[in-house]
Amino acid sequence: MGPGEAASPTDCEIAEHLGELIARQGWVTLTGGRPTGVMDAALRGASRTGGLTIGVLPSDTSAAASEWASLRIVTGMGEARNIVNVLTSQILFVCGMNAGTASEVAFALKIGRHTILLNAGPGSLQFWPALGEKFFHAASSPEEAIGIARDILDRQAQQ
Amino acid sequence: MGPGEAASPTDCEIAEHLGELIARQGWVTLTGGRPTGVMDAALRGASRTGGLTIGVLPSDTSAAASEWASLRIVTGMGEARNIVNVLTSQILFVCGMNAGTASEVAFALKIGRHTILLNAGPGSLQFWPALGEKFFHAASSPEEAIGIARDILDRQAQQ
Amino acid sequence: MGPGEAASPTDCEIAEHLGELIARQGWVTLTGGRPTGVMDAALRGASRTGGLTIGVLPSDTSAAASEWASLRIVTGMGEARNIVNVLTSQILFVCGMNAGTASEVAFALKIGRHTILLNAGPGSLQFWPALGEKFFHAASSPEEAIGIARDILDRQAQQ
Amino acid sequence: MGPGEAASPTDCEIAEHLGELIARQGWVTLTGGRPTGVMDAALRGASRTGGLTIGVLPSDTSAAASEWASLRIVTGMGEARNIVNVLTSQILFVCGMNAGTASEVAFALKIGRHTILLNAGPGSLQFWPALGEKFFHAASSPEEAIGIARDILDRQAQQ
């Protein structure tokens, strides 16, 4: 998850590298599916590495999807699709921060989905933990984020 | 698409065989994802034949999904997920008929998605064509339904 | 409920008269809220008679609403707003029939909401009862439809 | 908008007083409609003062609504109803902060809906402005919040 048109080059680099690492784990990469920003970069990284990719689109056609989304879920529900993204994901990786991304982090913490932030800025690190400390994580690199995710999945598998 | 708990044994046999044929075409099989009726049977047929299967769930967890849904989209939106099913599908195969199934056929004809009915009963064959003749089709066997679908996709590819 | 742009003049006359009668009962009139067809006519009839009117809009702004919708619920969810219409209504009055309207009737019968059809054509009277006979009603005039609705509400109040 | 079960007594006092002031302006009060926390308190304040009140419910029945919601919109879409709340509101008043409330603030700033925070804590005042400074406001009392809202509406009316 992360900004679309407003994503910084660094957000996109991190997202693309994360997509590669997610695919190497054998995990499925799911994003908001539009052909821009973090959504597009993560799908590109995962797809080029041979991973399965899903784009969950806000529009009512699949025309405006990232070319790297091998499966396209067409919701026709606008921003409500952000909720589908969060509910469907086992773990959220978040690169960068803007208002749309914040709605996904908020919803993830509300329903108790583990959320790992990268490149989100100091404001995020102070604001979000108070809303759901147990499920909030921060990583300084894609590799660290994958490590945190593996630990979470290992713990869940033991329960 | 088709009834869940209320599906007849014939609806489920047709759905399972359709799932097999869809998978053999190399197409993705998408259903409402619950572990019952036509949804479950179609995913089972497709999955056993090596096809990719998607379940789009009404619930807000993936717990109550068909075991044959290899990918589970969790919408948390109740019956509104029927609209996601229709928007995401290129062609709808419908086995049997009840009120929930009718809502999907109605929505498909509204947005112009080709819909192929099997085992729907004489009432359907008289009612639906008046609401969207161009996109309504009936088949008397899974093989005939696949043939109709191939013709539609061929025509769309030529446009 | 009923067709928008495709509504017949008769559909709209019935809807406007129904809106008047609903308002005279002191009931709230809720429609899909767009400025066309049955949606617009029913709100106009109710509003001119002093009734409270609600439009539940598919769009993500209130700009394209019927001028007769005194309250405008903006869903941004496209056709998924049909489900909100049905869930929110105590009783559905349906004038005319097309694919969009059929999706509302189907959903109403699925969840067990009493539905009264007017001017729906012989196909409807044969098709729908088989999907939910207990909740399906047909009326030949707005006055008869109001009478059916009053009987239903009286029975519900006694339970 | 504001926390439900997790609302503080101060959040609820502010919300109830805001509801009174909103009603005195002749404005409609809309909340998430459940019988708890800020949602319930704001509707109570508005309803007792004679204002029109709307509850937009996440559930698929109107049974679990605040008794102070004179109109109940039943969405059946779970947390996706937060988006309906934001899209339908002309101005958002927010009392307190938790993850669910944050999803509404985030979505409001994304679509450009003016949002006035009360009792949100220092974290909010540092985090949110960076995501949408133009639409973010903070007030130290319900009276100040109403004044900010009137200024916004006056400016919009002049455009």
Q: Is D60–B80 a contact, with Cβ atoms under 8 angstroms apart?
A: no
Which of the 8 DSSP states describes residue C57? E
Query: How many residues appear in chain B?
Result: 159
Please give the single-letter amino acid code of residue A69: A
Which residues of chain D fall short of a pLDDT of 50? none
The answer, yes or no, to whether residue C144 has pLDDT greater than 90, is yes
Tell me: the pLDDT tens digits for A93-146?
999 999 999 999 999 999 999 999 999 988 899 999 999 999 999 999 999 999
Chain C / chain D CB contacts < 8 angstroms: 52
The model's confidence at residue C159, banded by pLDDT at 50, 70 and 90, is confident
Element (H, E) at C117: strand C115-118
* Tens digit of pLDDT at every position of chain B (159 positions): 999 999 999 999 999 999 999 999 999 999 999 999 999 999 999 999 999 999 999 999 999 999 999 999 999 999 999 999 999 999 999 999 999 999 999 999 999 999 999 999 888 999 999 999 999 999 999 999 999 999 999 999 998
State the smallest CA–CA distance between residue B123 and chain A in angstroms: 30
State the smallest CA–CA distance between residue D103 and chain B in angstroms: 16
pLDDT of residue D158: 92
pLDDT of residue D122: 81
Q: How far apart are CA C52 and CA C70, in angstroms?
A: 7
pLDDT of residue C121: 83
Chain A / chain B CB contacts < 8 angstroms: 53
Q: SS in 3 state form for C49-70?
A: CCCCEEEEECCCCCCCCCCCCC
State the smallest CA–CA distance between residue D85 and chain C in angstroms: 8
State the smallest CA–CA distance between residue C24 and chain A in angstroms: 36
**Angle, alpha carbons A38-D86-D147 (nearest 5°):** 120
Mutate to test the interface with C, among D62, D74, D113 (most CBs of C within 10 A): D74
Contacts of A76 in chain C (CB under 8 A): 77-80
Contacts of A112 in chain D (CB under 8 A): none
Mutate to test the interface with C, among A61, A77, A81 (most CBs of C within 10 A): A77
State the smallest CA–CA distance between residue C123 and chain D in angstroms: 30
Q: How far apart are CA C62 and CA A45, in angstroms?
A: 40
State the smallest CA–CA distance between residue B145 and chain A in angstroms: 23
For residue D53, what is the nearest residue in chain C, using CA coordinates?
C71
Tell me: the pLDDT tens digits for A8-47?
999 999 999 999 999 999 999 999 999 999 999 999 999 9
Mutate to test the interface with D, among A1, A79, A101, A136 (most CBs of D within 10 A): A79
CA B8 to chain centre: 15
Q: Is B78–D80 a contact, with Cβ atoms under 8 angstroms apart?
A: no
Pick B106's closest partner by Cβ from C102, C126, C132. Answer: C102
Strand segments (E) across B101-157: 115-118, 136-138
Query: What was the ipTM of the complex prediction?
Result: 0.95
Q: Is A107–D103 a contact, with Cβ atoms under 8 angstroms apart?
A: yes
Helix, strand, or coil (residue C126): helix
Q: How far apart are CA A56 and CA A157, in angstroms?
A: 27
Structural tokens at position D45:
């304040």
Q: How far apart are CA D28 and CA D32, in angstroms?
A: 14
For residue D77, what is the nearest residue in chain B, using CA coordinates?
B77
Contact yes or no for B136/B115 (Cβ under 8 A): yes
State the smallest CA–CA distance between residue C80 and chain A in angstroms: 7
The answer, yes or no, to whether residue A3 has pLDDT greater than 90, is yes
Which residues of B touch chain C, with CB atoms under 8 Å apart?
77-80, 83, 97-100, 102-103, 105-107, 109-111, 121, 123-124, 126-127, 130-132
Return all residues near A16 (Cβ < 8 A) that are at least 6 apart.
A41, A42, A44, A45
Q: Is B77–A76 a contact, with Cβ atoms under 8 angstroms apart?
A: no
Mutate to test the interface with C, among B1, B8, B56, B79 (most CBs of C within 10 A): B79
Contacts of C111 in chain D (CB under 8 A): 60
Contacts of C83 in chain D (CB under 8 A): 75-77
Report the pLDDT averaged over residues C7-33: 98
